[in-house]
Structure 1
Amino acid sequence: MIKKIIKIIKEKIFESKSYSIFVLKKNFDFLIKKIFEELNEIIISLQKYKIYKNCYNRYLLIKEICDLLYHIILFIIYNKFSFFEIEKEFFRRTKISGKKEKKNR
């Protein structure tokens, strides 16, 4: 799924007025700022959802999660990480416990 999303974003990047190209032409700090901004919006949405567990707040939380994932994908593209590298790391982690993996860093 993520591989497909990355492909779609990469295809759209070259449209001169796309938001993706706007972000990627900005500097790295701008992209990092956007990621933290989206994280903050997720926290706010999550707090609202925990209080008012309804479809509307759930939907808003999902929207913010999508925004964060989108900016993380732009981060991946900006830094020219391959999907293979990320996938390889995920598979490596399936063979080790979370505690052990953190300890080995």
Structure 2
Amino acid sequence: MIKKIIKILIKKTIVNNSYSNFILFKDLDFLIKKIFEEIFELYNSFKNYIIVKNCYNRYFLIKEICDIIYHILLFIFFNKISFYEIEKELYRRTKTSGIKEKYSR
């Protein structure tokens, strides 16, 4: 599934007037602000979903999750981080306790 998402994102960055290009040609601070903005929107959607668990609130929660994933992927592309590097780090973390790993930083 992640490969499908990446292919879609790459296609979007090819189009000159795409939102992806707009963000990628801004500076890194702009992208970081967008990620924090999306996290805040996710938090608000989650609060609404906790209060009233219905399809409407669930839909908005899913939309905000998609927005965060999208902006994180842009962040990864912006910084030229390979998915191999991410996969390698996640694999390394499976060999140790999360608590131990956190304290070793």
Q: Which runs of 5+ in 1 are unaligned?
A: none
Residue 83 of structure 1 corresponds to 83
**Aligned partners of 1:3 and 1:83 also within 8 Å:** no
Aligned to 1:104: 104
Q: 1:50 Cα deviation (Å)?
A: 0.4
Counting matched residue pairs gives 105
Structural mapping, 1:1-105, within 5 Å: 1-105=1-105
Q: Give, in whole Å, the separation in 1 of the partners of 2:100 and 2:40.
A: 29
Distance 2:97 2:82 in 1: 24
Query: 2:100, 2:80 → 1: CA distance?
Result: 28
Deviation at 1:82, TM superposition (A): 0.2
On the 8 A contact 1:45/1:61 being kept in 2, the answer is yes
Higher relative contact order (Cα pairs below 8 Å, separated by 6+ residues): 1
Q: Which runs of 5+ in 2 are unaligned?
A: none
Aligned-pair CA distance for 1:17: 1.0
Q: Distance in 1 between matches of 2:67 and 2:97?
A: 29
Q: Percent of pairs identical after alignment?
A: 65
Task: Give the aligned CA root-mean-square deviation in angstroms.
Answer: 1.0
4+ long deviations beyond 4 Å: none
Q: Which amino acid aligns with 2:22?
A: F
1:80 Cα offset (Å): 0.1
